[in-house]
Structure 1
Amino acid sequence: MDPMVPYPSSSRRRLRRPVRRPARLVVAVVGVSAIVLAGCSDGEDAEIGEATVLTAEVVAEHPADATSFVQGLEVMPDGDLLVSTGLEGRSRIYRTPITGGEPTVSADLDPALFGEGSTRVGDTIWQLTWKNGIAVSRDATTLEETGRVSYEGEGWGLCSNGERLVMSDGSDRLTFRDPSTFAVTGTVDVTLDGAPVDQLNELDCSDGVVWANVWQSDRILRINPTTGEVTGVLDTSSLDLPARERPGADVLNGIAKLPDTGGAADTSDTSGSSGTDRYLLSGKLWDTMYEVQIGGQ
């Protein structure tokens, strides 16, 4: 029997329900889409309350492993890309050159666990699980498992600003955690023009903000982690991303800021903290990863 358990996709939305406030998601997300499209139709930056409509341009394409059900995406200090994947019995985490090629290091997750987002902080990588309530710690170099901790609720996305972890669980709430113990240190509810926005998925922490994919949509949000306010909305529906149309491919999921060098080819400066407006975008079972330049910031 195939060990893969059913997982939600654009064609099986009922399998992964929002954790909190599902009824209000429709209002918030539909509102975002309508206003974003209206703003973009004029070809100019617009405002969604306090949030800017962001624009993007694809500037490069990089090969990606089409068997990877991408849950986490992050550029490592040495220039490698850290990718964590899902599906029960098939979840793994690996490091690979941004420009493509075989993984330099790879580790399978316990077959009983369904992998989700991951992030590096110092010499440790934390990897979430979907419904298992387990966070796995790993050596950042070898990816060998070094420990496990338990948490309540579901695990979706994870990122780190170096001082704290930021975690999503599919609701409109971001949870802050201690990077050493994984203990909860705080939370913030995410709102767009005062309305909650849930289905927050894969995360990226950079330049003092949090970027969040919105599951089952083409939108990526820029969030102020102090207030929870959405300060920018990027609608990728108009971008030419053929990988998401490939038969068998699933939704957009994965955003990772590139270092200050302005592109993926040169990764000598790997702070990833300022000076670049380029990001990598990926998705579940995509065969291509896209380097985009985000404007309107």
Structure 2
Amino acid sequence: MGLKLAAAALLLCAGVAQAAAPVYGYKVKRSFPHDPTAFTQGLFYRNGILYESTGLNGRSSIRKVALETGKVLQRIDIPEQYFGEGIAPVGNALISLTWTSQTGFVFDIDTLKPRGSFSYQGEGWALTTDGERVYMSDGTAYIRVLDPNTMQVQRRIRVSADGSPLTQINELEWVDGEIYANIWQTSRIARIDPFSGQVRGWIDLTGLAEQAGIKQGSDNVLNGIAWDAAQRRLFVTGKLWPRLFEIEVVKR
């Protein structure tokens, strides 16, 4: 019995070793103007409009943006003592995070008028939603699952890639049952299983910054993912990028 168990364990380990997350490439389908002064922190698409949050103290804002032109249609500034972070829609509200202030804000999603605030522990990096729950990144290897009504933590997802914890999880987007996540200071998007926390695959966007017409520096890295579920369009951009792209994920 012991030998059989040992053999089974070896086979299992061999299977795990062979199950490295696949890496996908991309094809640019369209390119759109994007505000090059926008330090993009959060992004989502809803009813034909891009919603975007920007960061930096004194420059943080929540915006509605026209996709085709990049024109800011509506904007509300975050008080300068806060460093704005990710956003997500919850019903007729828009919720936003701040980086180190442990304070989040609630806005009317149509008018962007403030409706309230909430508190949380630790840092705030990004938000997304599956329509029933809210998912929050905080820079660690854990994604918090929040009750959308109370913003209280229901559980935590430990994210791992090929068996190792994955940290620096930044901007989030819910795409076809997976959480897509920018990984800070990289050109990769992780495709995360929201139940097991395992990375199912990577999207390698190497070269996209150059296509945006910029030389990638320490701050103007890839950040911002939006999914148009109705038309199945995936949009990405970066901090201080002058372009936003619609891309198609392709097998290598």
TM-score, normalised via structure 2 length: 0.88
Q: Structure 2 stretches of 5 or more lacking a match? A: 1-16
Partner of 2:10: none
Matched to 2:119, the amino acid is S
Distance 1:195 1:288 in 2: 34
Percentage of identical aligned residues: 38
- Count of residue correspondences: 235
Partner of 1:132: 101
1:246 CA displacement: 6.9
1:105 CA displacement: 1.5
1:52 CA displacement: 2.0
- Choose which of 146, 153, 157 in structure 1 pairs with 2:115: 146
* 1:150-165 correspondence runs (5 A): 150-165=119-134
Partner of 2:12: none
Distance 1:249 1:122 in 2: 32
Partner of 1:65: 35
CA change 1:70–1:221 in 2 (3 A) is same
Q: Structure 1 stretches of 5 or more lacking a match? A: 1-46, 262-275
Deviations 1:236-283 (A, max 9, x none): 11445334427897111011112332xxxxxxxxxxxxxx3x311111
8 Å CA contact 1:53, 1:234 repeated in 2: yes
* 1:180-259 correspondence runs (5 A): 180-239=149-208, 241-245=211-215, 250-259=220-229
- Choose which of 236, 244, 249 in structure 2 pairs with 1:294: 249
CA change 1:48–1:124 in 2 (3 A) is farther
SS at match of 2:96: strand
TM-score, normalised via structure 1 length: 0.75
1:177 CA displacement: 0.5
1:296 CA displacement: 3.4
Matched to 2:199, the amino acid is V
Root-mean-square deviation over aligned CA pairs: 1.9
SS at match of 2:206: helix
Distance 1:104 1:143 in 2: 11
8 Å CA contact 1:132, 1:154 repeated in 2: yes
Deviations 1:140-170 (A, max 9, x none): 1011111111100000011011101000011
Runs of 4+ residues over 6 Å off in structure 1: 246-249
Deviations 1:180-232 (A, max 9, x none): 11111110110011111110000001211100000001010000010000001
CA change 1:96–1:280 in 2 (3 A) is same
- Choose which of 248, 272, 285 in structure 1 pairs with 2:240: 285
Distance 2:102 2:219 in 1: 27
* 1:60-139 correspondence runs (5 A): 60-76=30-46, 78-139=47-108
8 Å CA contact 2:134, 2:147 repeated in 1: yes
Mean Cα displacement is larger for which, 48-57 or 158-167? 48-57
8 Å CA contact 2:212, 2:241 repeated in 1: no
- Choose which of 21, 41, 44 in structure 2 pairs with 1:51: 21
8 Å CA contact 1:253, 1:281 repeated in 2: yes
- Higher strand residue share: 2
Partner of 1:12: none
CA change 1:248–1:122 in 2 (3 A) is same
Distance 1:48 1:164 in 2: 33
